Structure 1
Amino acid sequence: MKNTVLIPTYRRPLDLSRCLSALQAQTKPVDQVIVVVRDTDTQTWQFLQAFPANHLPLQTVTVAIPGVVAALNAGLAAVEGDVLSITDDDAAPHPDWLERINAHFLADIRIGGVGGRDWIHHGDKIEDDSRAVVGQLQWFGRIIGNHHLGVGEPRFVDVLKGVNMSFRTQAIAKLRFDERMRGTGAQVHFEMALTLTLKRAGWQMIYDPQIAVDHYPAQRFDEDQRNNFNAIAQINLVHNETLVLLEHLSPLRRLIFLVWAILVGTRDCFGLIQWLRFFPNQGRLATRKLFASWRGRWQGWQTWQAIGDRLQVTGDRLQV
């Protein structure tokens, strides 16, 4: 099987250098590497001009629209391989990454997506905790990630993680990443929209902890600054999650999800009970998180409802 690796990047040339060097060291050589670069990103363009490709089949795609979704969709148009693997510029795939990915796709034609563990580095420390449950959508709408902590045997999952996910190009031939995802950079949950769409179409998703990348979380150049609360980033995150789940849950589960999300929520997307839980320690910050989460839920509902109204008026069928 021929392998294409797609890397969206923005203003992180040192991280990108580490990523490309890791691809040069693969035990199964990569057949095509697509790096998607913003038109205004002079740092990255200068780096790529000087980078010693050393037989790495590297090509670049230019994008003018901010955000990871636009970058990935621009890259999709250039994909030539049988398997498309996506990773971040601040990640370094292990040498057997592509070899292990291909083994799963070759073993079962029903597998549409394959993901693995990202070992997160914080300076000299690595997150080495472990979790057995990874990438699951619970019946009431809660998402369990834990892709960076997964251990054990390969298993079926509902959701893959963007830093380490691969797809059979046959499965995604008519798909694009959802341009309704909000954010000017990370656009959290963009991968959930695609993987749940593939599952609804009958494809299986596999998570294998042995398919690994080292992940060095780098600086972001948008409103989402990882560990620092930003109301706009929070609203965008919750909007995206809400929109995706409303589209993929059944009517009854959709109703249960909305009630649960508003009244309970999670430590990342507050509901009323989570606000009560964290208020003693976080005070006003907890209140800001609650209001941002509720606003994101409302805006996600509005986006989902607007699509439904348009389809009813025009008689169109939604194409993801």
Structure 2
Amino acid sequence: MGQADLPTLSVVIVTYGRATFLERCLRSLHGEGADISQLVVVDASPEPSQELAENAYTGLLYLHAPELAGHMTRARNRALLHVEGDVIAYLDDDVVVHPGWARAVRLGFHEEAIDALVGRTLNGQTGEEDPTQPIGTLERDGRLTAGFAAAAPGRLTVAHGIGANMSFTREALRRLGGFRDDYPGTALREDTDIFLRIQRLGGVAMFDPAAVVDHLPAPHVRGRRFDTRYKLYGRRNHIVLLARHGGLASAQLRRWMQGQLADVMRVPGVRRKIERFGVTTLGLVWGVAAAFRQAGLRPLAPERSGVDASSIRASLQDPVH
């Protein structure tokens, strides 16, 4: 199949304070050759790493935006003002792509009538290639299943994806007006949110096991993964997510909150139960308060509004080849 038959691909990498990881990611993209039409790096670090980035991948577009520090989704949206491809792929700065990743992404959008694609994301964990739960679902009780490292036999439809290795059509991002940029802290659920919004517009997302990356997590610039701060933001942002897509009065949100409290009793030891109860309760109260401000009793429209969304729509109006 010729290059001209496939959609063009812009790859976006958002980074902050992790220059060595960015360099490793960029060097892994070298072998993707003509399958990448454009590579955009949005760097929110205080000091620029433009020379390092350009040495690692010749011809990239480097955007130094220190004012976006701590706002990953705003950095994702900043890239949308510059992308040229029919398909826009987002990679975390701490991934390494497997050979043929870009080609697989392009083939996925060419061969399937889809609006979004999530690739296989390996974390080096034992048994991850054979998950016990379905891949990428939103369950009736509000829980999310992952399984994005699965060695699936082929593409399959999913409800949501993972931000480390996700791609979208230009048109889908245009209609949505870009990412919602108000999932604070660790930005947990910003990736889930955009997949669910695509689904609510009638769009389709698929998991493609051929678009493979190794996710080799870099340390957080602030705090540690799965520390108390991470857990609090996780619960807060999950409530806002469910409220935005089902409303604060939804049975799904109620079931999820009940499940979180029930999980406290499964923790062994009195001290750990008390600690878990405190974190869970604080996260739930914080989440409900945030959902009243940012969502409401009814679901929000999937399309963003406002000046930023309008700028993104205008920029994505027509593909540039």
Q: Could you tell me which amino acid in structure 2 is paired with residue 179 of structure 1?
A: D
> Residues 198-233 of structure 1: CA distance to partner in whole angstroms, max 9, x if unpaired?
11111110101221101110111134x213332xx3
In angstroms, what is the RMSD of aligned CA positions?
2.6
> How far is 1:283 from its partner?
3.6
Which of 4, 25, 30 is the matching residue for 2:31?
A: 25
* 2:72 corresponds to: 68
* 2:100 corresponds to: 96
> Residues 291-311 of structure 1: CA distance to partner in whole angstroms, max 9, x if unpaired?
233224323432344697xx9
Task: Give the gaps of 5 or more residues in structure 2.
Answer: 1-6, 305-321
3-state SS, counterpart of residue 251 of structure 2 = helix
Alignment partner of 1:216 is 2:211:
no
TM-score normalised according to structure 1 size: 0.83
Which of 178, 185, 188 is the matching residue for 1:176?
A: 178
3-state SS, counterpart of residue 81 of structure 1 = coil
> How far is 1:27 from its partner?
5.3
* 1:301 corresponds to: 291
Matches within 5 A, 1:220-299: 220-223=220-223, 225-230=224-229, 233-249=230-246, 254-264=249-259, 271-280=260-269, 282-299=272-289
Structure with bigger strand share is 1
Q: Could you tell me which amino acid in structure 1 is paired with residue 117 of structure 2?
A: V
| Pair 1:111–1:261, CA change in 2 (3 A) | same
> Residues 51-75 of structure 1: CA distance to partner in whole angstroms, max 9, x if unpaired?
4547733011232122211110111
- Structure with larger RCO (C-alpha < 8 A, sep 6+): 2
3-state SS, counterpart of residue 56 of structure 1 = coil
> Residues 146-200 of structure 1: CA distance to partner in whole angstroms, max 9, x if unpaired?
22345332100000100010011122114211122111xx301101111111111
> How far is 1:5 from its partner?
0.5
> Structure 1: which 4+ aligned runs deviate by more than 6 Å?
none
* 1:105 corresponds to: 109
Q: Could you tell me which amino acid in structure 2 is paired with residue 261 of structure 1?
A: W
- Is the contact between residue 26 and residue 56 of structure 2 (CA under 8 Å) also seen in structure 1? no
3-state SS, counterpart of residue 220 of structure 1 = coil
* 2:195 corresponds to: 195
Aligned residues: 293
% same residue: 22
Stretch moving more, 167-176 or 144-153? 144-153
Q: Could you tell me which amino acid in structure 1 is paired with residue 155 of structure 2?
A: P
